[in-house]
Chain A
Amino acid sequence: MLRRLRGPLAVVLLLVGMFSVGIGLGKANGFSFAELFRGPGKAPPGEFPVLGPSRPLRIQIPTIKVKAYIHGVGLDERGAIDTPSLLLRNEAGWFDDGPSPGQYGPAIIVGHVDTKDKPGVFHRLDELKPGAKIEITRRDNRVTVFEVNTVERFSKQSLPVDRIYHDYTRPGLRLITCGGRWVGGELGYADNIVVFASLVSAHKA
């Protein structure tokens, strides 16, 4: 009985082993399944509202169950956008030197993918798909609704600065968190996940 099972057992072990080594190698090189099933990007709308400045207070992304507060952040001493304290687990940071969500230009909101021991506010950001809605409530009691265009991953050393920070052709939104390989030290994760989104509508809260 046992002898007869030996052949199939060997084959199964070999296959499982190969599969596992493959995924392991992929992980080591920053491969992600979420990226594989994301689908093509969605073009921004031709018409959109434009709002004046007003601080964002809350962010909601129903498809990945994000519901968080937002506070202002500036630049840190390295010249990168500062991030919320690791202790404020459910908070995102809005770069308050840049445009507000709803103004022309990219509103930039950063959030942690994880803290030292728990998942962070944006830990499912790389599962976002083009077309998903992001709602941001502003202090003027208006809700701006953005639609995801693309979700992309870049090395922290070679971010496409113009695409992320200098596109003033429409009211846009950039959600930024960490991803890729963990290298530790100053850098933490090697990459940034960036969600590019565009304003599609605005309404009273």
Chain B
Amino acid sequence: MRSALRVAAGAVALAVAALTAPAPAHAEGVFVEVNPSTIQAGFQVAIRASCGDALNNAKVHSEAFGTVTVEPVNVYLIAAATVPEKKKAGGYNVKLTCPSRQTATTTLWVVNHDSPQHGPNTGGGALAGDGGATLIGAGATAMGLGLGVLLLSRRRGRGPLTPA
């Protein structure tokens, strides 16, 4: 009974480990990541890093946003950085320098374009039709005919020669 329980507990622990494994896969080592890894100039990215531990502040530098200090929050070193609006589009190196002099790098992709304000002109008009004019016209004609027939048969129906 007890061993069965132990096996069950082991299975649960394994399952939990399997579920949580992907996230801190590189938490053992020294790493830095930016999220999102692609950003429009003028907007903010989140930086998450680790120096093997997350006990002391560290520096993260990039041409894209300058130098920021990442600070320990729970198990990671965290900071936010804003990419200036004028920053040219391209890939920028992001480098973490730990107090121990260990480093890690990643890439931040910056896109920079004027936001399109109008929709694109994606039509030549071949499928445009006439905006329903034919349908309305034909429909009105059919209704007129129908009414006409109805009235006609009413009048005939009242005539003296028609048997009741």
Contacts and interface: CB of A to CB of B under 8 A. Distances in A.
A50 interface: yes
B121 A83 contact: yes
B124 A168 contact: no
B107 to A, nearest CB: 7
Interface stretch (A57-65, A95-103, A127-135): A95-103
Contact of B139 (A11, A16, A176): A16
A112 B122 contact: yes
Chain A interface category by residue count? 35 or more
Contact of A117 (B35, B36, B124, B153): B124
Given A83-B120, A192-B120, A184 B125 contact: yes
Chain B interface category by residue count? 35 or more
Interface stretch (A73-81, A142-150, A197-205): A73-81
A10 B139 contact: no
A176 B113 contact: no
Contact of A97 (B91, B113, B126, B144): B113
A120 B123 contact: yes
Contacts of A112: 122-124
Contact of A14 (B91, B118, B146): B146
Contact of B122 (A83, A165, A181): A83
Interface of A: 3, 6-7, 9-14, 16-28, 50, 52-53, 75, 78-83, 86, 95, 97-99, 103-105, 110-120, 122-123, 154, 156-157, 159, 161, 165-166, 168-169, 176-178, 181-182, 184, 186-189, 191-192
